[in-house]
């Protein structure tokens, strides 16, 4: 062991040089030269509370009217839970809940004899129908859903119970049925949009042919119309 007194300044410079050398040798993540921050695609989008922006709109508690089966409901949750009650009076009681959250709580707490006998068989189909209505009837919501691309949509709940693990996930565990149905609706809406675009391209620009020369307005009349419009 050398008896030379260590030089703190010299050691600091040496450590910095070593760190820089290791950093240069480290392969690090692969970087695409064409990468731009705005082109970043999310692989997974989590949502839960209706007041979260922007994806809180994916929650069934989000306040946006939904017309379903000929009836107008305040939220998707109302439209979904309206099919759960066996008796009309129980249905009216559910619909009278002061908030969507209280409606959901009341519906989850129904006695077995108050629930429609085939509910377990039809509830997922009904939920998908409600989601289709919600995102078809509101252009801004449809655009938001389509803007998620191919990202996995997950309702990420905070309270660990059977209902939350069925419709979403809690700490990464759950069936995420709501997220799955949203992704199915997203795919269907995109397919419809692509089909419409394809038909428009196939038809091409429509040419309007006048049946009679007399029906064509004169150049002076057209000019006068433009001036009147611009005025």
Using CA atoms, how far residue 229 sits from 208, 217, 222, in Å, is: 22, 16, 11
Q: In angstroms, rounded to a whole number, what is the distance separating the alpha carbons of residues 177 and 160?
A: 16
CATH number for 42-201: choose from 3.30.565.10, 1.10.230.10, 1.10.357.40, 1.20.1250.20. 1.10.357.40
Q: According to the model, what pLDDT value does residue 226 have?
A: 36
The answer to whether 82 and 94 have CB atoms below 8 angstroms apart is yes
- Tell me the domain boundaries of the chain: 42-201
Q: According to the model, what pLDDT value does residue 175 have?
A: 98
Kind and range of the H or E run holding 64? strand 63-68
- Tell whether pTM > 0.75: no
Q: What is the pLDDT along the chain (231 residues), one digit of tens a residue?
A: 444 444 545 444 544 444 444 334 333 333 333 333 333 357 999 999 999 999 999 999 999 999 999 999 999 999 999 999 999 999 999 999 999 999 999 999 999 999 999 999 999 999 999 999 999 999 999 999 999 999 999 999 999 999 999 999 999 999 999 999 999 999 999 999 988 777 766 666 665 554 444 444 444 444 443 343 333
SS3 126: helix
CA atoms within 13 Å, Cβ hemisphere of 45? 24
Q: According to the model, what pLDDT value does residue 81 have?
A: 98
């Amino acid at each position: 062991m050398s008896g030379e007194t260590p030089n703190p300044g010299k050691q600091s410079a040496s450590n910095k040089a070593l760190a820089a050398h290791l950093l240069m040798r480290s392969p690090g993540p692969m970087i695409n030269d064409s990468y731009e921050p705005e082109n970043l695609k999310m692989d997974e989008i989590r949502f839960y509370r209706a007041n979260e922006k922007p994806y809180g709109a994916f929650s069934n508690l989000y306040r946006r009217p939904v017309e379903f089966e000929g009836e107008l409901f305040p939220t998707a949750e109302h439209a979904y839970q309206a099919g759960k009650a066996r008796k009309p009076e129980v249905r009216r009681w559910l619909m009278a809940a002061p908030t969507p959250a209280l409606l959901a709580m009341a519906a989850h707490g129904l006695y077995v004899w108050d629930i429609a006998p085939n509910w377990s068989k039809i509830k997922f189909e009904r939920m998908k129908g409600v989601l289709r209505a919600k995102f078809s009837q509101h252009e801004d919501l449809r655009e938001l859903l389509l803007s998620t691309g191919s990202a996995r949509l997950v309702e990420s709940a905070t309270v660990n119970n059977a209902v939350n693990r069925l419709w979403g996930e809690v700490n990464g565990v759950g069936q995420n049925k709501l997220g799955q149905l949203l992704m199915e609706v997203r795919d269907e809406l995109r397919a419809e949009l692509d089909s419409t675009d394809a038909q428009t391209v196939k038809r091409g620009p429509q040419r309007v042919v006048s049946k009679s020369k007399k029906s064509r307005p004169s150049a002076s009349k057209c000019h006068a119309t433009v001036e009147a419009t611009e005025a």
